[in-house]
Amino acid sequence: MFDQLNNLLQNLSEENIKALMEQISPFDFILAFLLPFIESFLPFLPLFMFAVVNVNAFGVVLGFILTYTGTVSGCFAVFALINQFQQHRWVKRFLKIDNIQRFIDWVDHKGSIIIFIMLCIPFTPSSFINVIAAMSNITYKQYLFILIVSKFVMIFIMSFVGHDIASFFEKPIKSITTIILLVVLYIVAKFLEKKMHKQSSPQ
């Protein structure tokens, strides 16, 4: 299976993903989970394509769950790895890139809501955000919470659009619903962030 996965990543297309899923059935759900997981490490991979294939291959609910759990697990794995190896030479070299340290300081100053917003937006380079978050003052518990909520929004949008792309443009109600959901979740996230900071601050 790993040789087939390697070949797929070298010749990536929606048709090839579906073909490989048919070949490895009934273990196709493993591939559906692995692809979003790997994308967390390799940002050039198309998460939207994986979400579209999954919802069309497994249905909206199961396809959403496979993409969602895969990307949350992958992002948290990247965060944990970078957090553990912050003192490594290549990590320190990354800090020397223009504006990286400034961006980390900005995240520390503005709070985790900045990370949340960026992770909610489809096509945001999650791997870069994972690294920045790991090098900021965000804790494991906070980042896991951020991922669970923000990735739910992102993958929901991708699955919602990808399940029937044509209707998203033909029926504006879909676009309006998505925008309203983002605004509501932003307000909820802001409230929860204040509550988390209040609970974590010394009495």
CA–CA dist 106, 23 (Å, integer): 47
Parts of the chain with a pLDDT under 70: 1-14, 20, 24, 90-92, 94-99, 162-171, 174-175, 178, 182, 185-186, 188-203
How many angstroms separate the first and last alpha carbons of the chain?
A: 53
Identity of residue 62: L
CB burial class (10 A; 0-12, 13-18, 19+) of residue 79? buried
What DSSP letter does each residue of 27-91 carry, written as one string?
SHHHHHHHHHHHHTT-TTS-HHHHHHHHHHHH-HHHHHHHHHHHHHHHHHHHHHHHHHTTTSHHH
Domain range for residue 43? 2-200
Identity of residue 27: F
pTM of the model: 0.74
Q: Cis ω on the peptide bond leading into residue 43 (within 30° of 0)? A: no
| Beta carbons within 8 Å of 132's beta carbon, 6+ residues apart | 100, 103, 104, 107, 115
Give the Cβ contact number of residue 201 at 10 Å: 7
Q: How many domains does the chain have?
A: 1
Do the beta carbons of residue 104 and residue 187 sit within 8 Å? no
Q: Is 154 helix (H, G, I), strand (E, B) or coil?
A: helix
Per residue in 58-77, pLDDT (tens digit) is 888 999 999 999 999 999 99
Do the beta carbons of residue 43 and residue 125 sit within 8 Å? yes
